[in-house]
Structure 1
Amino acid sequence: MTTGALLSILVAWLLAIASPGPDLVQLLRVGAVRRNGVACALGIMSGNLLWIVASMLGLSALVDNVSGILTALFLVGGCVLAWMGQGALRGGLAARKQDAVLSDAASSLLTTQMTTVQSWRLGLVTNLSNPKALVFFGAVFAGFVPPDTSWAMRAVVLVMMMVIGVAWFVFVAVAVSVPALSKRLQAAGAWIDIVAGTVFLVLAAVLVIEGIARLL
């Protein structure tokens, strides 16, 4: 693998993780409390680690040769996103029904009462059901790592992507936990949940429709 190929992977990876999506939305939801945001970021990268390893072990080849695999990924990912979306939407709408004082308390409930483990798990589940990750690792990433790439070079690519990914998501988590921004996020927590829930439900619908279309 040439230096140019590594740079191509780097650019594609940066574009993939920096573009808006479910991962960044979850960080906005839980990042008002720094420990939760960092744990969520590490959960997201735990999911990415699984995607990277699976892709290097032949995920793309499996998807190409077994049509049912991609269909299952679409359907399962859509169902998980729908589950998270309805939870976020219901929580946000419930908070908006309260008076001003109770609304602030309810909007910050997610970030103040979640444990570190729960935040990590939320990041992991979000990433594993993320349609961006499904498309990137199921179709795009394999093009950058030819089948004849040595395992030593694959390890270099893995470490590079993990270091960059952890640095980016932890940076975002720390940035949104800065007191001035944290207070605004907690005050707007109900609306963030409503928007996040809506986005998740739309993405879930797209995945499920695509999965059903593949069954027909």
Structure 2
Amino acid sequence: MTTGALISILVAWLLAIASPGPDLVQLLRVGAVRRNGVACALGIMSGNLLWILASMLGLSALVDAVPGVLTALFLVGGCFLAWMGQGALRGGLAARRKDAALSDAASSLLSTTMTTGRAWRLGVATNLSNPKALVFFGAVFAGFVPPETSWAARGVVLAMMLVTGVAWFVFVTYLVSVPALSRRLQAAGAWIDIVAGTVFLGIAAVLLVEGVSRLV
């Protein structure tokens, strides 16, 4: 696996975890208490670890046995990313027009009564039920890690994604736990939607072009 391929995976991964979704909203809910926010962040990454391993093991084997599956993943992944991208872009633009921001979920009473164990389990459950994770690992990530990728290279990808993922979600937790920064983060939700939607539409176009080219 080339350095360019690793950078492509890293960029796509960071865009996926940084774009607004259930994981970030859950951190806003429980992150007012920092220890619970960190536990929730680790739970989210525990869920992501399962997604990564399943994608590397199951999807790679399936693509290896049935090459046409990769074409289908490109097309399905492109369509889903296009749908997600246009939804995020439209939502972000609408929020900007209305001067709206993310709801103030950080004030949830759950954050003051939840144990760290429950916060971790909540993070795992939230991530495993996150449709963004299903699309990313089920349709997009498999295209970045072809069957011929060595296990050493897969280990590098796994470590890279885990380190950057934990760093990002814990960083968000620390932001959420500071009231002033929390308000700024929530206010930037519309712009995050706009940027993420635009980038996902671009990635979707690449995947669709690649999928169609494999059909010709």
TM-score per shorter chain, which class?
Answer: 0.5 to 0.7
1:1-216 alignment runs, 5 A limit:
1-59=1-59, 62=62, 108-180=108-180
Q: Distance in 2 between the 1:30 and 1:176 partners? A: 9
Quick one: which amino acid aligns to residue 166 of structure 1? V
Looking at structure 2, the residues matched to 148 and 63 of structure 1 have their Cα atoms a distance apart, in angstroms, of: 10
Provide the identity percentage: 86
1:154 to 1:63, Cα distance in 2 relative to 1, 3 A = closer
Q: Secondary structure at the match of 1:57?
A: helix
TM (norm. structure 1) is: 0.62
Q: In structure 1, how many angstroms separate the alpha carbons of the residues matched to 2:63 and 2:26?
A: 28
Alpha-carbon distance change, 108 to 20 in structure 1, aligned in 2, over 3 angstroms = closer
Task: Give the whole-Å Cα distance in 1 for the aligned partners of 2:55 and 2:154.
Answer: 11
Cα distance in structure 1, aligned partners of 2:118 and 2:163: 23
The residue type equivalent to 2:159 in the other structure is V
CA contact (8 A) 2:39 2:117 kept: yes
Describe the SS at the equivalent of 1:58: helix
Q: Considering only aligned residues, what root-mean-square deviation do their CA atoms show, in Å?
A: 2.5
Counterpart Cα distance in 1 of 2:159 and 2:23: 20
Instruction: Give the Cα–Cα distance (whole angstroms) in 2 for the partners of residues 148 and 64 of structure 1.
Output: 8
Q: Give the Cα–Cα distance (whole angstroms) in 1 for the partners of residues 183 and 111 of structure 2.
A: 12
Give the structure-2-normalised TM-score.
Answer: 0.62
CA shift at 1:178, angstroms?
1.4
Alpha carbons 2:22, 2:126 under 8 Å: kept? yes
Q: Which amino acid in 1 is paired with 2:35?
A: R
- Separation in structure 2 between the aligned mates of residue 153 and residue 65 of structure 1, nearest angstrom: 20
Q: Could you tell me whether the CA contact under 8 Å between 1:26 and 1:123 is conserved in 2?
A: yes
Q: Is the 8 A contact 1:60 1:137 kept in 2?
A: no
Structure 1 unaligned regions, length at least 5: 67-106, 185-216
Q: Determine helix, strand or coil for the equivalent of 2:149.
A: coil
CA separation in 2, counterparts of 1:166 and 1:110? 22
